[in-house]
Amino acid sequence: MSRSGEPVVTLENVGVEFTNQSLKQFLRREKDAVKAVDDVSLEIHEGEVVVLVGESGCGKTTLGKTAVGLQRPTSGSVRYYGQDVWEAKDGTGDGDIPFTDIRRALQIVHQDPGSSLNPNRTVLSNLSVPLKKQYPNMDVEEREDRIYKLLDYVGMKPATSYASRYPHQLSGGEQQRVALGRALLMNPDLVLADEAVSALDVSLRIEMMDLMHDLQREFNTSYLCISHDLANAYYFAEKVGGRIGIMYLGKLVEIGAAEEVIRNPSHPYTKVLRWATPVMDPDAAREATGEVPMREIDIPDPKNPPSGCRFHTRCPKAREACTESTPTLRPADGTDRSEVACFRSEPDHEYWHSDPLPE
């Protein structure tokens, strides 16, 4: 897959594990460990849009926070323009990019903008805080001028009026514009948008995504977006030639050009997500028989994921080989437009000679 620009952030074999202990487990020296992210590698290039999609609990938000340095990985590495993020944070290694610069360059827009804005501060004050921290030598007049211009650019006019309001005096869409503007005030290289439009009314989602596209062109930033809605993911990524990545139980199971992943999905789980989003393919929806394209088995416990391919317990195409080894990402159908972690993409794999799993 051809992408311009060098990687802003590179994740290599990243794993993130969370441990929970009850009092009984503590006394018995036992613990439950959940691998929220398991051996994921991903590059996000300059000016690129990547959208991660999957069910709740699949690890997409954890992976996103790891990519922007908000979550320390348990294994693997996260690099910003080649500099290991956590070596910079810990003051180890040979990198020459200070962590303060990395922190400024990697920003986040939360799902609930209201909770991320201080309710006791005006919009002007909320937006002044990060500027004061990152640019301590900037005088008041320059700082306020920059904020007013940003508010005007994101459609909050007149800017001086909106700047004097408190978060509770703004609509959900206006709060999200402020949150997005606050991230962009830092001139970031990468913005993590964690379900940034899911809390908005449907009528406002397209408007907000279009605004994010406009701001991307103006600020020359990259986006890593998190979404549970395949239709939103497709609109946001496809319009700018971006990619969609599909996650399942901590694994990246398919990633590629938005058009390819949606119109010609290679992984059985991607096909399930598309089936569950009729608006993606109205013709197919009209012809649907009502049968879910997967086995009728509950989602596995993340604390005890299945062996081999983690989707095999729900996959209608699963065979014995799927229970024995884990597929890795490889070009789908011999193209460079998408990659898929499924043995069915390997014509010579032993999968084709193994027995189908019983219904």
As a whole number, mean pLDDT of residues 37-47 equals: 96
Residue 2: the pLDDT is: 42
pLDDT of residue 134: 85
Q: What structural domains does the chain harbor? A: 7-120+166-353 (3.40.50.300)
Q: Using CA atoms, how far apart are residues 26 and 23, in angstroms rounded to an integer?
A: 5
What is the predicted pLDDT for the residue at 208? 87
Residue type, 252: L
- Please count the CA atoms within 13 angstroms of the CA of 203 that sit on its side-chain side: 1
Contact (Cβ atoms closer than 8 angstroms) between residue 107 and residue 68? yes
pLDDT of 196 reads: 77
Q: Average pLDDT, whole number, for the chain?
A: 88
CB atoms within 10 A of CB 2: 7
pLDDT at 248: 95
pLDDT at 21 exceeding the cut of 70: no
More confident site: 30 or 303: 303
Confidence of residue 356 (pLDDT cuts 50, 70, 90): very high
Strands 49-53, 243-248: pairing is: parallel
Provide, rounded to the nearest whole percent, the portion of the chain with pLDDT above 70.
Answer: 89
User: Which strand (E) or helix (H) includes residue 251?
Assistant: strand 251-257
Identify the pLDDT of residue 201.
77
Cβ atoms of 330 and 339 within 8 Å: the answer is yes
91-130 pLDDT, tens digit per residue, is 887 778 999 999 999 999 987 877 788 999 999 999 999 8
pLDDT confidence tier of residue 4, bands split at 50, 70 and 90: low
pLDDT in tens, 169-197: 998 888 989 999 999 999 999 999 998 77
Question: Would you call 157 exposed, middle or buried from its count of C-beta atoms within 10 A (0-12, 13-18, 19+)?
Answer: exposed
**Terminal CA-to-CA distance of the chain, rounded, Å?**
37
List C-alpha distances in Å: 148 to 141, 162, 317: 11, 9, 56
Q: Which of the pair, 300 or 168, is modelled with greater confidence? A: 168
Helix axes 172-184, 123-134, angle to 10 degrees: 20
- pLDDT at position 204: 82
Specify the 3-state DSSP secondary structure of 313: coil
Residue 256: name the closest of 266, 245, 267 by CA.
245
229-233: long-range contacts (C-beta < 8 A, 24 or more apart)? 229/53, 229/198, 229/277, 230/53, 230/262, 230/273, 230/274, 230/276, 230/277, 230/280, 231/277, 231/279, 231/280, 232/197, 232/198, 232/205, 233/51, 233/53, 233/258
Q: Collapsing DSSP states into helix, strand and coil, what is residue 40?
A: strand
What pLDDT score was predicted for residue 158? 94
Assess whether pLDDT exceeds 80 at residue 149.
Answer: yes
Question: Looking at 24-147, which runs of residues are DSSP E strands?
Answer: 32-45, 49-53, 75-80, 83-84, 106-109
- pLDDT over threshold 50, residue 306: yes
Q: What is the dihedral of CA 135, 140, 146, 149, to 10 degrees?
A: 160
The reported pLDDT for the residue numbered 28 is 60
* Strand order from edge to edge, sheet including 32-45: 32-45, 7-20, 75-80, 83-84
Highest mean pLDDT: which range of 216-220, 224-228, 301-305: 224-228
